Amino acid sequence: MFNLATNLESAAARWPQREGLVFEGRRWTFAELDAEASRVAHGLAAHGVGKGDHVALISPNRPEFITAYFGILKVGAVAVTVSALLRAREIAYQLQHSDSVAMIAYGGADMEIGKAAHDAFRQADTCRRGWFFSATDGLVDGTELFAFDELTAGHSASYLSVATDHDDTAVVLYTSGTTGKPKGAELTHANIIQNVICIARVRPMDPNGGKSLIALPVFHVMAQTCQMHLSIYNGTTSFLVQRFDALKVVRLLLDEGIPGFAGVPTMYRAILDCPDLTDDDHQRLKELFVSVSAGGSALAPELQREFMEKFEAPMTNGYGATETSPASCFPQSIEEVPLGSIGTAGWGIDLAIADDEGRHLPRGEVGELLVRGHCVMKGYYKDPIATADVIRGGWYHSGDLARTDEDGFVYIVGRKKEMIIRGGFNIYPAEVEAVLSEHPDVAMAAVVGVPHDTHGEEVKAYVTALPGRSVSADEVIAWARKEMAAHKYPRLVEVRDSLPLGPTGKVVKRALIEENADHD
């Protein structure tokens, strides 16, 4: 028997009075978090939710996400964590497809997610009941939709978790994929806790507890596993941030003495470019940071170098996917990791670089990155065909193109499905983006392939300018022509005020590709 809820229960038993969570000035001990999760479990059980049932959880970074999440697990149910940035139609699909019997959602007036979740609930006939916390008027009807306090009120602060097997599904997270409807990746209790242990071997427990900042969305697998669960496992105090703001995050880091954080490249770019940070702020950050880490999106070597030089702290870059729980490849030490590398395989995980026939390639050659080990998902919920397409012979086929150097360090060079073929030459967008990011006036770059009558595909770049600067398409093309081989540099460049970003800060290239398709 193993239930992932024991991660919080163990922390509450070992460090009952240690602060486990801080949110907007309010502080909870591990014992208080576990007690509230137990009340959620009692409430769910009283409404007939039990082992194997699916419960949707739709929330930004709020304390209730954590207590509801563990309450769901305690009754042996499956937490379906839904992005708090979706629209009603998108949420309704996930509620219906996941067979969620109940829903817990945020209804605060500062976000549109409450209304979207309310409307989605009405469209999904699988859901019997829903509960809103911080509910605004019109979300609660008292018949099917209730206030979250009604779920927890009057219940015991102790709940003995339901016995589950290690390979039972604990969480379902929907991935956008590249085409078609989102797919629900099933992660087991063992998937997640072994991934946590894998990371903890590299980032061990601070005997004094330590502090961490969670600015990435906890409905996403990276923050969920690599931050929320890892912090609880290590007895670390988590400072939860609902919405990333560079200035506010820096102030929190400095005021609380948090020695670093995990984010995506856009967060680090925002801190570097924040006009309200003083020289004193930068100096204090330099003295504070022990290390920082990036993930969820390709980290341009130039940005990594700039951040490390600015704050004189090591910056690591890891790799993972929802389907791999997520961490599969990351630096096993913060020292001596080559710039641009995502490190090496984690404990208990095998990596391989393979060609289209599945043959493993030697070091230095580019091929698809394959992953095998405890981190690989159980499969896509109710989709055996899609599961069989990505898990073959025990290996998860990531769709990412990578290579290893002579020392075994891994580098991502692009997406297999994003690869551009121009006049017979293979071009990897990540490589072009990394070069474009070195332009002195460019803040962000996204590269896609667009149809071309003679070359098959042409390279198109979308760029944004650094704050206070400007750049033209002709300037970028001329500069890129000098920096890249003739077949690689983008002949088409579009300068924009911003690029479409997903919930974890990645550029949503699908949106850019669809724009080009619409213009054909």
pLDDT in tens, 344-355: 999 999 999 999
| Chain segment 479-510, per-residue pLDDT in tens | 999 888 888 999 999 999 999 998 878 888 88
The yes-or-no verdict on residue 375 having pLDDT over 60 is: yes
Q: How many CB atoms lie within 10 A of CB 342?
A: 25
DSSP states of 343-354 as a string? BEEPTTEEEEEE
**Mean pLDDT, residues 285-312 taken together:** 88
Instruction: Compute the radius of gyration of the chain from its Cα atoms.
Output: 23
The whole-model pTM stands at 0.89
pLDDT of residue 35: 98
Q: Virtual CA dihedral for 39, 4, 376, 447, nearest 10 degrees? A: 40
pLDDT of residue 265: 86
The yes-or-no verdict on residue 67 having pLDDT over 70 is: yes
The yes-or-no verdict on residue 51 having pLDDT over 90 is: yes
Residues of the chain within CATH 3.40.50.980 domain(s) are: 6-164
Burial of 160 (0-12, 13-18, 19+ CB in 10 A): exposed
The rounded percent of the chain whose pLDDT value lies above 90 is 78
pLDDT of residue 180: 63
The rounded percent of the chain whose pLDDT value lies above 70 is 98
**418-519, CATH topology level:** GMP Synthetase; Chain A, domain 3 (3.30.300)
Give me 504's structure tokens.
């974890």
Instruction: Report the Cα 238 to chain-centroid distance in Å.
Output: 17
Give me 383's structure tokens.
């989709």
pLDDT of residue 27: 98
The yes-or-no verdict on residue 1 having pLDDT over 80 is: no
Rounded distance, CA 57 to CA 102, Å? 9
The CA–CA distances, whole Å, from 260 to 210, 249, 340 equal 11, 11, 20
Rounded distance, CA 431 to CA 188, Å? 35
The yes-or-no verdict on residue 178 having pLDDT over 60 is: no
Domain 6-164 classification at class level: alpha beta
User: Directed axis angle between helix 265-273 and helix 301-311, to 10°?
Assistant: 50
Rounded distance, CA 103 to CA 429, Å? 39
Residues of the chain within CATH 3.40.50.12780 domain(s) are: 192-414
Q: Virtual CA dihedral for 155, 160, 165, 167, nearest 10 degrees? A: 50
The yes-or-no verdict on residue 179 having pLDDT over 60 is: no
pLDDT of residue 452: 87
**Mean pLDDT, residues 280-287 taken together:** 96
**Mean pLDDT, residues 108-114 taken together:** 95
> Helices marked H in 289-403 — which ranges?
301-311, 384-390
**Mean pLDDT, residues 373-378 taken together:** 98
Higher pLDDT, 421 or 63: 63
72-76, 308-312, 511-515: range with lowest mean pLDDT: 511-515
| Chain segment 445-464, per-residue pLDDT in tens | 999 999 988 788 999 999 99
| Chain segment 218-271, per-residue pLDDT in tens | 999 999 999 999 999 999 999 999 999 999 999 999 999 999 989 988 899 899
Question: What would the CATH number be for the domain defined by 192-414?
Answer: 3.40.50.12780
pLDDT of residue 249: 97
Maximum distance among all Cα pairs of the chain, rounded to whole angstroms: 71
Rounded distance, CA 445 to CA 240, Å? 29
Mean pLDDT, the chain, rounded, equals 93
The CA–CA distances, whole Å, from 192 to 276, 314, 438 equal 39, 27, 37
| Chain segment 416-444, per-residue pLDDT in tens | 878 888 887 888 898 899 889 999 999 99
The yes-or-no verdict on residue 96 having pLDDT over 80 is: yes
Indicate the pLDDT class of residue 373, thresholds 50, 70 and 90: very high
Rounded distance, CA 331 to CA 197, Å? 15
Give the contacts of 476 (CB within 8 A, at least 6 positions apart): 436, 439, 442, 461, 463, 490, 493, 495
| Chain segment 129-169, per-residue pLDDT in tens | 999 999 988 999 999 999 999 999 999 999 999 999 999 99
24-33, 123-132, 431-440: range with lowest mean pLDDT: 431-440
Residues of the chain within CATH 3.30.300.30 domain(s) are: 418-519
